[in-house]
Homo-oligomer: A and B are copies of this chain.
Amino acid sequence: MTSLSKNKIKYIRSMEQKKARKEHGTFLAEGPKLTGELLGRFPCRLLVATEEWLNKHPEAKAEEIVEASPDELSRASLLKTPQQVLGVFAQPSYELDLNAVRTSLSLALDGVQDPGNLGTIVRLADWFGINDIICSPDTADIYNPKTVQATMGGIARVRVHYADLPAFIRSVNGTPVYGTFLDGENLYTQPLSESGLVIMGNEGKGVRPEVETLIDRRLYIPNYPRGRETAESLNVAIATAVVCAEFRRRAAWR
């Protein structure tokens, strides 16, 4: 057991920056629930916890474990309300299995900017049994601490990849490619395949033209009642959820 040095606090807090995360190949997770879920899934480089938490979790394994007072923890934490435990974990590296994409329902994100939206999408993908999310390089970073927290543990089960989207979509040629558009076809009256790729775009701009041309099934989430004056769009995570829920309802519950 070592103590929480100023250098360690600095290291933990540096996980807010992509550059530092990349340099160390690590990311930060905070709170008993999330940290607990990640322990045993990803190698933990540094685990910092209160005496109470450590006494309750004698099985917790990490390269280095540091007991800290609540005050020390709050100096290291990036949360408004620091929790009893945080961990710095090794970033996993995933191979993208094109065959798995061809035979499952997967998501592709084209420039989703908001870290919270990305985390929420990973969380709902986890709920709806979506194993792979392929992101354009300019999508928010899955290891942004805000994103990690918003996944609520989904990051332990959903594989998030970064790739050139047009090239990736071409590489799974033959897989139905869905997107949502204001001029698309009603989600509820269109046939939906059990496997396929659902593409969601940037919060303001939607999907890029070079991605849009690769979408062969244009969907629309109908508003209610039809023709009523409403917002022009739904939040990207909300739209993703409504589409994924409908795919799964058709496969399992209709």
Residues of A within 8 A of B (CB): 116, 120, 123-124, 126-129, 150, 152-154, 157, 186, 188-189, 221-226, 228-235, 237-238, 241-242, 245-246, 248-249, 251-254
By beta carbon, the residue of chain B nearest A254 is B188
Which residues on B sit within 8 Å (CB–CB) of A223? 127-129
Which residues on B sit within 8 Å (CB–CB) of A245? 221, 242, 245-246
B154→A253 contact, CB < 8 A = no
B249→A188 contact, CB < 8 A = yes
**Shortest Cβ distance from residue A82 to the other chain B in the assembled complex, whole angstroms:** 16
Q: A241-B241, A242-B241, A242-B245 are in contact. Are A252 and B234 (CB under 8 A)?
A: no
Give the contacting residue for A248; candidates B127, B150, B224, B229; CB below 8 A.
B224
Which residues on B sit within 8 Å (CB–CB) of A248? 222, 224
By beta carbon, the residue of chain B nearest A225 is B129
By beta carbon, the residue of chain B nearest A153 is B231
Which residues on B sit within 8 Å (CB–CB) of A233? 152
Q: How long is the Cα–Cα vector from A245 to B153 in the complex, in angstroms?
A: 26
By beta carbon, the residue of chain B nearest A152 is B231
A241→B252 contact, CB < 8 A = no
Q: How long is the Cα–Cα vector from A125 to B251 in the complex, in angstroms?
A: 27
Known interface pairs A222-B252, A245-B246; 6 further A-B residue pairs with C-beta atoms within 8 A, sorted by A's residue number: A124-B235, A129-B223, A152-B232, A188-B253, A188-B254, A242-B245
Q: How long is the Cα–Cα vector from A110 to B110 in the complex, in angstroms?
A: 34
Which residues on B sit within 8 Å (CB–CB) of A221? 127, 245
Interface centre among A120, A124, A189 (most CB of B within 10 A): A124
By beta carbon, the residue of chain B nearest A33 is B232
Q: How long is the Cα–Cα vector from A36 to B238 in the complex, in angstroms?
A: 24
A224→B123 contact, CB < 8 A = no
Q: A222-B248, A251-B224 are in contact. Are A127 and B230 (CB under 8 A)?
A: yes
Give the contacting residue for A241; candidates B128, B186, B232, B238; CB below 8 A.
B238
Which residues on B sit within 8 Å (CB–CB) of A241? 234, 238, 241-242
Give the contacting residue for A231; candidates B127, B226, B251; CB below 8 A.
B127
Which residues on B sit within 8 Å (CB–CB) of A186? 253
A231→B188 contact, CB < 8 A = no
